Amino acid sequence: MKQTLRIAILLTFAWAALAAFSNFAQAQKIDFAFGISTVDAPGASAASGNHQPVSLTGGTYPGFSGDVLFFHNLGLGGEIYWKANQGNYGGDPTLPFRPLFFDFNAVYSPKLASHTYLELLGGIGALDTRFYCQTCSNGITNYSSDKHFMGDFGAGIKFYPKGGFFIRPEAKLYLVNNNIYFSSPRVTRYGLSIGYTFR
């Protein structure tokens, strides 16, 4: 998890730096935020076909996000959210797991009112589910990783109570390709982020 988190943060900072210092980009705003969320997904009884009767619903998901707006409220962003505690896959305490969602997005953030901005985004990423074990076959880590490509769509509203600090309630829909270890390819994340905008 630490390596994936480092890579996601590094890529977010690299994108921000590239956009900020590029003559083409002429960055207007750079946002960084920390958030807490939970997820909702169809229940175990909704599983069909090859999908296992295990739901991703519940849990606390901390995460980081960042974006750069560089052309008429348009820009690029990225984020990573992971489950804070390991869950028990299908209720089995001998098979703990932890999902991580990371993605890169196009962002549109028009002003709605004084100190209030809408944020719409969509992009691609991956769900990396880590199943923890005592002796994994790879011989290096104590988990095996199951990664699946996903598309994502989301929205939030940024409120600026003072200066560049903002509070952002947000919701995001993940559509995970071939997510057969869980009951459905659909996962929804709801949360609240606190961040700062550099202008």
Record the pTM.
Answer: 0.81
The pLDDT score that the predictor gives to residue 96 is 87
Nearest in space to 81 (alpha carbons), one of 16, 33, 41? 33
Does residue 136 surpass a pLDDT of 80?
no
More confident residue, 24 or 192: 192
User: Stretch 131-148: mean pLDDT, rounded?
Assistant: 72
Structural domain 2-198, CATH architecture: Beta Barrel (2.40)
pLDDT band, very low/low/confident/very high, at 25 (cuts 50, 70, 90): very low
Does residue 167 surpass a pLDDT of 60?
yes
**Whose structure tokens read 């995970």?**
176
- All residues at 6 or more sequence positions from 108 whose CB lies less than 8 Å from its CB, including other chains: 73, 74, 119, 120, 121
User: Stretch 5-24: mean pLDDT, rounded?
Assistant: 59
Distance CA 6, CA 17 (A): 16
More confident residue, 40 or 145: 40
pLDDT band, very low/low/confident/very high, at 118 (cuts 50, 70, 90): very high
- All residues at 6 or more sequence positions from 154 whose CB lies less than 8 Å from its CB, including other chains: 105, 119, 120, 121, 122, 170, 171, 172, 173, 189
Does residue 58 surpass a pLDDT of 70?
yes
Beta strands 143-162; 165-176: pairing state: antiparallel
DSSP element (H, E) containing 189: strand 186-198
Distance CA 68, CA 74 (A): 8
Q: In this predicted model, what pLDDT tens digit does every residue of 63-110 receive, in sequence order?
A: 999 999 988 899 999 999 999 998 888 777 778 899 999 999 999 999
Domain regions of the chain by residue span? 2-198
CA angle (169 as vertex; 168, 170 as ends), nearest 5: 105
User: Stretch 27-38: mean pLDDT, rounded?
Assistant: 91
